[in-house]
């Protein structure tokens, strides 16, 4: 029922909780070791998220324990279905976590936006205040200017009213000099007089003080007694008269010297230690203490009430401590069990431990066998998947090579087709030129036969034929050069193809392959559904007939 408070607490000296070394008995897998990744400051002390993670891990271990063995096709199908359901649940949980994280981020973003809006509002308010202050300053300056103009105009009106009739007044010099507030003593600057303009005429100017030559002349004019100081030694004072009597002043000086010496001795005197007492000494009585306050004795009813309250407090505190102990016991129940297993010293406990150890060894062997079977099945499945993936990748790589070759061949075919068209055009042009030339030759021959042929026409025909032949050769060379350039451009495009373009080609192939396979599966499923209806109807007819 009592408590004490020490000067030092465990919380002031404790840094991080101590994690002692531990030894795991053979064949035991304590659940506590699954939390070894949690350390102080990183998961400990455990919060709501850590508790949910531990509960999910327990549920997953319990679910793994309920998985059927892979010894038959039905068990494999059931296991696959359970794994698909679990994977779907995990994805759902992950989506929920992502949604929670997004909500937290949205809240943070809202707070940041709100803070930015508040800062912007403060900045706008500050700008408005500055603008308002500037307007106020302009307003005050305008008011000062108006007041100054008002005073100026008022002085002008007063000056005009002084001489309303317009009479000429002579200057009264006596009145001006008798009035110390007149223009004679205090002229106004607005009239045109500035008293500080000619202030240098009041400065004292002296030749002997302003120039070095004047200073030298002034020094030479001074007597030697001013520049050369003569010091005379003091004469001793005579304290006695001619008749041999001591003077009164001398006696006063001697008395003052004695008093001064006595004061110095008293000031510098060292305190002597106290001597032991030889006689009785009077002992002073201490000051009597004040009377001790006395409390009034409470009544019996108040004492009983106070005792009842104290008893109730004790009961409540004891019950609270008991509840706390039970809660801590429930929380550390697994640790208590583990400690009991490690510190069991009685024979019955040892026998139970041996039985549990044998049981755990048997379970561990069975678990190892199941894990071996599972690993062998997983290895087989991995081999099958690897072969399937290898075949798919081989097929895709071959398809990629085939597509590349097909594109090259297509490019070559397009170039060949273009060259063929160009050659056909050249051949058609050549045939037209030959036909034209044949017609011209026939015409020339006809004209020559008729006798109308002349030397000029003959030379003209020769020049035209030579021009046509040179134009044909130049066109052929230009066509060949363009074909070579097109071929180089095609090879350069093939060499410049990036990895992204290759991945796009592969993605198109995979997409075509997978979509085609998915379409086949959907068509098979539709056919199976349609056949199932007919099979179900046939079964019904057969059952009715047998009935």
CA distance linking residue 68 with residue 57, whole number of Å: 19
CA distance linking residue 404 with residue 410, whole number of Å: 10
What is the number of alpha carbons within 13 Å of residue 440 lying toward its C-beta? 15
- Tokens standing for 132? 């308002």
3 state SS of 105 = helix
CA distance linking residue 30 with residue 50, whole number of Å: 18
**Closest residue by Cα to residue 29 from 330, 367, 355, 345:** 367
**Closest residue by Cα to residue 41 from 20, 15, 13:** 15
- Stretches where the chain sits below pLDDT 50 are 453
- Quick one: pLDDT at residue 276? 64
- Quick one: pLDDT at residue 196? 67
**Closest residue by Cα to residue 29 from 424, 338, 261, 286:** 338
- Tokens standing for 441? 């030759």
Residue 513 burial (C-beta neighbours within 10 Å; 0-12, 13-18, 19+): middle
Tell me the pLDDT tens digit for each residue of 247-288: 778 888 888 889 989 988 888 877 766 666 566 667 788 888
Listed in sequence order, the residues at least 6 apart from 206 whose beta carbon sits closer than 8 Å to its beta carbon are: 214
- Quick one: pLDDT at residue 4? 66
- Quick one: pLDDT at residue 45? 75
CA distance linking residue 495 with residue 404, whole number of Å: 12
Residue 377 burial (C-beta neighbours within 10 Å; 0-12, 13-18, 19+): middle
Listed in sequence order, the residues at least 6 apart from 458 whose beta carbon sits closer than 8 Å to its beta carbon are: 444
CA distance linking residue 227 with residue 240, whole number of Å: 39
CA distance linking residue 79 with residue 84, whole number of Å: 9
- Quick one: pLDDT at residue 420? 86
- Quick one: pLDDT at residue 371? 86
CA distance linking residue 169 with residue 163, whole number of Å: 9
Q: Are 374 and 480 in contact (CB under 8 A)?
A: no
Tell me the pLDDT tens digit for each residue of 20-46: 777 888 777 777 777 777 777 777 777
Q: Are 27 and 361 in contact (CB under 8 A)?
A: yes
**Closest residue by Cα to residue 478 from 417, 412, 414, 422:** 422
Per domain, the residue ranges of the chain are: 47-145, 301-444, 451-496, 500-532
User: Percentages helix, strand, coil for the chain, rounded to the nearest 5?
Assistant: 75, 0, 25
What are residue 40's DSSP bridge partners? 44
- Quick one: pLDDT at residue 129? 92
Which position has the token pair 């069975």? Answer: 366
Q: Are 448 and 457 in contact (CB under 8 A)?
A: no
Residues comprising the chain, all counted = 547
CA distance linking residue 518 with residue 526, whole number of Å: 12
Which position has the token pair 């007041």? Answer: 147
- Tokens standing for 134? 């500037």
């Amino acid at each position: 029922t009592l408590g004490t408070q020490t000067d030092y607490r465990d919380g002031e000296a404790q840094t991080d909780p101590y994690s002692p070394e531990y030894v795991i008995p053979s064949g035991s897998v304590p659940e506590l070791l699954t939390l070894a990744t949690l350390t102080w400051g990183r998961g400990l002390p455990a919060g709501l998220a850590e508790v949910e993670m531990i509960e999910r891990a327990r549920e997953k271990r319990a679910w793994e324990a309920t998985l059927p063995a892979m010894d038959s096709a039905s068990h494999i199908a059931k296991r696959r279905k359970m794994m698909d359901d679990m994977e779907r649940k995990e994805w759902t949980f992950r989506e929920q976590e992502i949604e929670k994280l997004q909500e937290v981020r949205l809240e943070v973003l809202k707070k940041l936006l709100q803070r930015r809006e508040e800062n912007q509002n403060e900045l706008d308010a500050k700008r408005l205040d500055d603008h308002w202050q500037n307007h106020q300053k302009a307003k005050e300056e305008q008011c000062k200017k108006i007041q100054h103009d008002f005073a100026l105009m008022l002085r002008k009106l007063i000056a005009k009213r002084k001489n309303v009739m317009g009479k000429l007044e002579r200057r009264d010099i006596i009145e001006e000099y008798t009035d110390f507030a007149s223009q004679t003593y205090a002229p106004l600057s607005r009239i045109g007089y500035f008293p500080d303009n000619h202030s240098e005429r009041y400065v004292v100017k002296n030749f002997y003080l302003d120039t070095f030559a004047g200073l030298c002349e002034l020094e030479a004019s001074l007597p030697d007694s001013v520049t050369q100081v003569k010091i005379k030694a003091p004469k001793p004072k005579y304290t006695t008269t001619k008749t041999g009597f001591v003077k009164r002043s001398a006696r006063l000086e001697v008395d003052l010297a004695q008093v001064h010496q006595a004061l110095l001795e008293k000031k510098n005197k060292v305190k002597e230690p106290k001597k032991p007492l030889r006689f009785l000494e009077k002992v002073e009585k201490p000051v009597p203490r004040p009377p001790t306050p006395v409390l009034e004795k409470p009544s019996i009813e108040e004492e009983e009430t106070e005792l009842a309250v104290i008893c109730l407090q004790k009961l409540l505190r004891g019950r609270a401590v008991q509840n706390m102990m039970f809660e801590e016991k429930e929380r550390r129940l697994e640790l208590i069990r583990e400690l009991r297993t490690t510190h069991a010293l009685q024979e019955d406990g040892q026998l139970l431990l041996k039985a549990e150890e044998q049981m755990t060894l048997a379970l561990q062997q069975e678990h190892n066998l199941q894990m071996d079977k599972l690993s062998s099945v997983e290895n087989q499945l991995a081999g099958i998947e690897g072969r399937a993936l290898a075949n798919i990748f081989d097929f895709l790589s071959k398809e990629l090579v085939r597509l590349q070759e097909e594109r090259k061949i297509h490019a070559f075919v397009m170039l060949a087709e273009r060259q063929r068209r160009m050659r056909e055009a050249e051949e058609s042009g050549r045939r037209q030129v030959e036909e034209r030339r044949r017609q011209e030759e026939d015409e020339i021959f006809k004209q020559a036969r008729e006798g109308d042929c002349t030397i000029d026409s003959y030379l003209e025909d020769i020049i035209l034929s030579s021009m046509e032949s040179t134009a044909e050769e130049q066109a052929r060379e230009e066509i060949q050069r363009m074909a070579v350039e097109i071929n180089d451009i095609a090879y350069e495009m093939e060499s410049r193809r990036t990895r992204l373009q290759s991945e796009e080609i592969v993605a198109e192939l995979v997409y075509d392959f997978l979509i085609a396979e998915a379409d086949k599966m959907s068509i098979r499923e539709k056919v199976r559904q349609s056949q199932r209806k007919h099979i179900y109807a046939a079964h019904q007819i057969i059952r009715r007939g047998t009935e």
